[in-house]
Structure 1
Amino acid sequence: MVLHLNMDIISLEKWGVEHLGAVESMVENTLSYAENKTFFLKAVANPNIIILLTTESVYLELKPYIKREILILLTSNPKFYFWSIHNQYGSRFKEHICHIESYRGVNVKIHPTAYIEENVYLGDNVEVGVNAYIASNSYVGNDSYVGNGVVVGAQGLELAYNGNEKIMIKRYGGVKINNNVHIMDNSVVSKSVWGITELQDSVSVSVLCNIAANCSIGKLTRMSGNCLVGGSAKLGENVILGPSVTIKDGIKIGANSRVRIGSVVVQNYPENSDISGNFAYEHIKNIRNFARFRNG
């Protein structure tokens, strides 16, 4: 069935929608969107997608590829209206919402200037520094330190545009900081749109770092000052980031890897990698290329 999207008559319950997500969704009864041919074909081939927002031009070109029942909602701006539906109805889907019960363990030290919202878990021996802020649906495990001016559970600035109109995308997820994690002054950990941003056991984060939404930082990973880890990036165990490293969103770096000072990482790397440069490259090859350039 094909309809033109009307935000005033959306009925997700009637349509059987149980999830909002990407066209690769592994969850049944998902509503998604596709702005181009590639994502449209993925969506109509994925039986979990039951409703798809797309443009009329994409639909008309590719409708012969639709081989199953799916509701197509036509709109001039699928991305914008998908996130509009998310903002309006997302709180109805329990699997979207991270809900953490308020808890205070033993020997918790919170500086008087720090601000802790409701639905925050603080384990035993947690210390929260001067002017730190911990937003709702955040979990901080035992023996962890949240330094001066640190923000845990930041909303982040993620927008969807429709001409001159814009909306800020709501975040229903949370943050999980596991045991023995140290986050130093003025660093920021953003909460996820859905699910959690996670720092596993014994992660160390130096000053002025920014960890974006839905990242997973493996245990024993160390981040030097002024690092930026883009959204949905995955760092394995015992990864070392040098000062001022930038990692593009969605990147995966395997365990026991080293990313050297000032690197800008825009591709995935396996375990035990040693990488450097802007854009980052395997470190030894990078050095050899530089030597050849320097020597003419």
Structure 2
Amino acid sequence: MTLQQGQNVIIGENVVFGENVKIGNNVIIYEGTEIRDNVIIQDNAVIGKQPTRAKTSILPEVKTLPPAKIGSGVTIGTSAIVYANVEISNDVFIADLATVRERVTIGAKTIVGRGAAIENDCAIGKSCKLETNCYITAYSTLGDSVFIAPCVVTTNDNFMGRSKERFDKFKGVTVKDGGRIGANATILPGKVIQEDGAVAAGSIVSRDVELESLVVGSPAKEIRKVPEEQLLRNQ
């Protein structure tokens, strides 16, 4: 094992390292975390953090979760936070200040941009691009080769934090393979963007987006089909 580490690094018990791991300054890696070969963890990152629960939270009390697992060739940027029970596949890039919450999986070669937030219980496919400051709400699923532009917001609560009726109705968004969402778009709870569906910048998606359709506006409406040369199968 070749391990390079900076100053003030804290490594918990039973952390597993592969070959050629590089750790910056002031990094915290919690107990049991698995880190494979050729991983770079930059300054001030936190890996394997257990979640905490606000006293007023409606969510059930969280028990100790299994450790995080970091695949080979992963880069985790400065001040990024990766929680416990996260599984990151090979060659993922997580940029500075990003947050990946508990029970999240991220597929190979996906990019998570600067300041992006992926909330708990999400599944992110391979070769996705989640750009700066986008927000992926809890209980969402993104397929492969999904593009999320900067400042996109996804939501999971139609009741906006009021009434007990909402407790069993939380539902994140689904973006299937090749789906693309433009900058500053908002996707309402439970909506599905089908394969190669595209959402124009600034749109508000209040109903499902059909296969290979381009939607625009508030509320978003289909204006045409995605051009053939833009479809994922033709790349």
Q: How does 1:128-207 map to 2 (within 5 A)?
A: 128-135=41-48, 137-153=67-83, 174-191=85-102, 196-207=103-114
Kindly indicate whether residue 211 of structure 2 is the aligned counterpart of residue 286 of structure 1: no
Give the corresponding residue for 1:218.
125
CA–CA separation in structure 1 for the residues paired with 2:86 and 2:117 = 13
Kindly indicate whether residue 41 of structure 2 is the aligned counterpart of residue 119 of structure 1: no
- SS of the aligned residue for 2:216 comes to helix
- Give 1:202 shift: 0.7
TM score, norm. by length of structure 1: 0.53
- SS of the aligned residue for 2:100 comes to strand
Give the corresponding residue for 1:235.
142
TM score, norm. by length of structure 2: 0.67
Is the 1:233–1:248 contact (alpha carbons within 8 Å) kept by the matching residues of 2?
Answer: no
Is the 2:203–2:216 contact (alpha carbons within 8 Å) kept by the matching residues of 1?
Answer: no
CA–CA separation in structure 2 for the residues paired with 1:248 and 1:116 = 30
CA–CA separation in structure 2 for the residues paired with 1:263 and 1:212 = 18
- Give 1:284 shift: 3.9
CA–CA separation in structure 2 for the residues paired with 1:104 and 1:179 = 14
Summarize the Cα distance change of 1:178–1:265 in structure 2 as closer, same or farther, 3 Å threshold: same
Larger % of helix: which?
1
Kindly indicate whether residue 168 of structure 2 is the aligned counterpart of residue 255 of structure 1: no
Give the corresponding residue for 1:106.
19
Structure 2: unaligned runs, 5 residues or longer: 1-13, 50-66, 157-171, 221-235
CA–CA separation in structure 1 for the residues paired with 2:33 and 2:215 = 46
Larger Rg: 1
- Give 1:102 shift: 2.9
CA deviations 1:239-278 (Å, max 9, x no partner) are 0001101122321111001100101111111111001334
Give the root-mean-square deviation of aligned CA atoms.
Answer: 2.0
Matched to 2:123, the amino acid is S
- Give 1:117 shift: 0.9
Structure 1: unaligned runs, 5 residues or longer: 1-100, 154-172, 291-296
Give the corresponding residue for 1:269.
193
CA deviations 1:132-167 (Å, max 9, x no partner) are 0002511110000010000000xxxxxxxxxxxxxx
Summarize the Cα distance change of 1:286–1:188 in structure 2 as closer, same or farther, 3 Å threshold: same
Is the 2:198–2:215 contact (alpha carbons within 8 Å) kept by the matching residues of 1?
Answer: no
